[in-house]
Amino acid sequence: MSVQVAQHAGVEADVWSALDTVRDPELDESIVDLSFVTEVEVDSDVVSVRLRLPTYFCAPNFAYLMVSDAFDAVTRVASGRMVRIRLEDHFASEEINGGVSSGAGFEGSFPGQAREDLAELRLTFQRKAHTACLERASAQLLTNGWTIESLAQSRLSDLPDTPQRESLLRRRADLGLSIDPAQPMFVDGEGRPVGKPDVASYLRLAKTTRVSIEGNSGICRGLLKTRYGEGTTAGTLSAVTSERTSP
């Protein structure tokens, strides 16, 4: 293996790791785990990444966030190479790919059809993700003998070292909420502690949020499989319009 090829392979592994940190904001899962990434190619000048989604009509705002987050994450590890992220088989592929590569922003990519960028949308879904993680962590603690009262009174340092704790801390960090061990564990999406009388009802709606997000993830995985078959082979539907329904 030449030195150059080895270097490219190293970058390629870094690109995959970087992409693994990009999450579908609606499903709160890695785009790699969701099989949305179909190909990474690295040469001396360019890193190319191909992405796909479960349907032709997946909401363009979430699609934009994923492409733009992938662009930022890959740029950080591309060692000066040009980065090209291509979303394929989507009704707005052209607007999204062009908008992200030119740095036009969401509003600039959809002139006349959007009024602002996507910060508020992202925040809404980061809060939902936090709510679902808080519910998952709490449900496990309640199973292990905790009470509503202990949930309301506990600090982050009281949480046992579990994957649920890690997930919760990550969502807090995403929201800019403190992850200091002395901070209360049971806070809402804006970081306000939820008092003991409200914890049970908060958890009840949080459970519905979790069921909804987990359900959507199942739907999307199923639709992706139906659309592209098993595995991660890209581009089987590169011409959805002509292959699927034209004579």
Residues forming contacts to other proteins in the complex (CB under 8 A) are: 26, 54-61, 91, 106-107, 110, 112-118, 120-121, 124-125, 128, 197, 200-201, 204-205, 207-209, 211-212, 214-216, 218-219, 222-223, 225-227, 240-242, 244-247
What is the bridge-based pairing of β-strands 29-30 and 23-24?
A: antiparallel
Query: Residue 83 in contact with residue 71, Cβ under 8 Å?
Result: yes
Least distance CB 237 / other proteins (angstroms): 8
Judged by DSSP in three states, 179 sits in coil
Beta-carbon neighbour count of residue 35 at 10 Å? 16
- Nearer residue to other proteins within complex by CB, 179 or 239: 239
- E-assigned strand segments in 65-120: 82-87
Between 47 and 66, whose beta carbon lies closer to other proteins?
A: 66
Question: Between 112 and 176, whose beta carbon lies closer to other proteins?
Answer: 112
CB hemisphere CA count around 47 (13 angstroms): 29
Q: How far is the CB of 24 from other proteins (least distance, A)?
A: 12
The strand pair at 37-42 and 46-51 is best described as antiparallel
For residues 106 and 98, the answer to whether their CB atoms sit within 8 Å is no
Angle, alpha carbons 201-207-209 (nearest 5°): 110
Question: Could you tell me the smallest distance in angstroms from the CB atom of residue 16 to other proteins?
Answer: 27
What single DSSP character describes residue 235? -
Residue closer to other proteins by CB (options 114, 234) is 114
Element (H, E) at 51: strand 46-51
Minimum distance from residue 222 beta carbon to other proteins (Å)? 5
Rounded to a whole number of angstroms, the minimum distance from the CB of residue 131 to other proteins is 9
Minimum separation from the CB atom of position 51 to other proteins (A): 17
Pick between residue 16 and residue 108 the one whose CB is nearest to other proteins.
108
Q: Judged by CB, which is closer to other proteins: 83, or 96?
A: 96
